[in-house]
Amino acid sequence: MAKRATRKSAKRLARETFETGEYNGGNVHSLFDADSWSPVDENYGNKRGNAKQEQRDTKYRKNIKAQNESQQQFMDALDEHSLVIASGPAGTGKTYVAVAKAVEALEKGQVSRIVLSRPAVEAGESLGFLPGDMEEKLSPYLRPLYDALSDRLSTKRLKALMAENIIEIAPIAYMRGRTLNNAYVVIDEAQNCTYVQLKMLLTRLGWHSTMVITGDPQQSDLLPGMSGLEDIANKLDKLDTIKVINFSDKDVVRHPLVAEMIGVL
């Protein structure tokens, strides 16, 4: 018993001294320096005394907060209008904010379900026939929506909500004929929808529902002139009951190079 207690005491002492940085012997070494970068350390650059040391470009926030004026207008519009169209360059947070607000409305009991949809259009290359059932075939196209959802909900809760059909991710091809009551509907990548498809989607809106349409008219994978997003947005912008938010390259919240590239490409 005495030997066992001695070994436990030695292990505890080694662990405590290693964690506090006072351990200087043996074969155990810290993998990282104590003053290394931390994603939650806002004073790292100041502590190192290096004026050129910059923070990471973005930080994860559990509770979303507008990063610029356009995002604030977008979030306010989602609270005040039943139909909102967000159009603009990639990296401005359109999809993420829309999904986050949908989850927020579901958690508050403002809606009873979330319906997420996007066109199954390949980005300039043909993948051919994908194996598996319908869900497996569509999974690569709907992955961005899964990513945004999993960032707002735990994996276990997300699976449970999807199993109960409270959160539904569906391709646009299966939206015709439906009436979406008491739902939060997000239509992503709408620049890959034709005018007829968008008209069909807009008329799915039911009672006590909110619909958000997001897309970048400059990144359509359809043939020139086939995308209906810009035309639809221009027509609906004349209605006071519908809000159209236009983002610009100044609103990009990804890597700063993304905004610079969008300005010249």
Mean pLDDT, residues 60-67 taken together: 69
Query: Longest Cα pair distance anywhere in the chain, in angstroms?
Result: 84
Over residues 22-44, the mean pLDDT reads 47
Q: Give pLDDT tens digits for 75-94.
A: 999 999 999 999 999 899 99
Q: Is 148 helix (H, G, I), strand (E, B) or coil?
A: helix
Place of tokens 């609270």: 79
pLDDT at 48: 44
CATH 3.40.50.300: which residues of the chain?
69-264
Kindly tell me if the per-residue pLDDT of 215 is higher than 60: yes
- pTM across the whole model: 0.71
pLDDT grade for 30, boundaries at 50, 70 and 90: very low
Is the Cβ–Cβ distance between 90 and 216 less than 8 Å?
yes
pLDDT of residue 190: 93
pLDDT in tens, 141-187: 677 788 888 888 888 999 999 999 999 988 888 888 999 999 999 99
Structure tokens at 73: 């207008």
pLDDT at residue number 126: 55
List C-alpha distances in Å: 43 to 19, 35, 55, 140, 176: 21, 11, 9, 39, 53
| C-alpha dist (Å) from residue 154 to 9, 13, 128, 157, 173 | 38, 36, 33, 5, 29
CA 240 to the chain's CA centroid: 28
Closest listed residue to residue 59, CA positions, set 82, 89, 39: 39
CA distance 47 to 62: 26
* Residue 253: both structure tokens together: 């919240």
Domain 69-264, CATH 3.40.190.290 — does that match? Answer: no
CB 219 within 8 A of CB 229: no
Instruction: Reply yes or no on whether the pLDDT at 26 is more than 90.
Output: no
